Amino acid sequence: MKVTVVGGGTWGTAFSSLLAERGHEVTLACRDPLQAAAIAENGRNPRYLPELELAGVEARTLEADALTDCELLGIAVPSHEFRGALENLPDSAPLLILTKGLDPSSGRRLSELTVSRPTAVLVGPNHAEEIARGLPAAAVVASEDEPLAARVQDAVHSSRFRVYLNDDVVGVELCAAVKNVMALAAGAVDGLGLGDNAKAALISRGLAEMGRLAAACGARPETFAGLAGMGDLVVTSWSRYSRNRRAGELVARGRSVAEAEREIGMVVEGITTAPVLRDLSQRLEIELPITEAVCRVVDGGLPHELVSTLMARRPTTE
């Protein structure tokens, strides 16, 4: 299969390598011509995962022929850039969304912006750094187009990257968005030194928030117990590779949100997604207390208030 992956960040780079290992003809489309030229010359991405050899991956800039001459278009750009990237993509090939987040301008799921073409979504506990090292991982691909989902599964599935099918697109996309916000809160617990009990409680209640949102949006609650939900939530909340967890930790230790993002040097999706989720919950008239607490910190509140506010809530049933 001829596949073009749009976005030369960590995940776009790692996913391109996965595809090349499976024998596909892969193009990594980069926005920056200097980045594309460096990859073409050295076979490595100098900015992201520079230790990964990109054998079989052709790097190019976002030219028309790099996008039109393919059978599948993967999009691995930050959520706030997704709409703009989509407007510049041809409609000649199905889309595979690799971005985890919501459209900040509308609050919609990203696949809702692609209704005019076949679309699949791939998510799961997949830190690019471990994928690049060849460590085993699993993911889920979701689409309302069952043949497309099966094609993507067949294209990507391997002995080290196991891919499952799921037709709950709503649930899978919401999982991918919410888990980043929960990871910010989990990182704050780390930064404040509140211990494993507090972190486990927060993650468990975060999963409850995810399920509550799922029910309100028509998703299947069991999706949130799978790879897209519990799997990705756990790895994003605990891993040293997690940008969202790290950002929460840095803010809890005294950095501003802007300083934390600069220190990490990459997009922290949870910071963009948190206010979008809060607004969505208000429209749906459901409670997302952890999300609301994270938003208060992102807006300049003190991190320790996140925990005290949550612990002081009225006792209730689980």
Query: Could you give the residue numbers annotated as active site?
Result: 179
3 state SS of 65: helix
CA 261, chain centre distance (Å): 16
Residues 6+ apart with CB under 8 A from 227: 123, 124, 125, 138, 139, 140, 164
DSSP secondary structure code for residue 230 in this structure: I
CA 247, chain centre distance (Å): 15
E-state strands within the chain: 2-6, 25-30, 57-61, 72-75, 95-97, 119-123, 137-142, 161-166
Phi, psi (rounded to 5 degrees) for 125: -75, 80
Q: Which of 164, 55, 49, 145 is nearest to 96 (CA)?
A: 145
Where residue 285 falls (left for φ over 0; alpha for ψ -120 to 50; beta otherwise) is: left
DSSP secondary structure code for residue 203 in this structure: H
3 state SS of 9: coil
How would DSSP label each residue in 72-90? Answer: EEEE-S-HHHHHHHHHTS-
DSSP secondary structure code for residue 228 in this structure: I
**If residue 68 lies in a helix (H) or strand (E), which one and from where to where?**
helix 64-68
Count CB-CB contacts under 10 A for residue 73.
Answer: 26
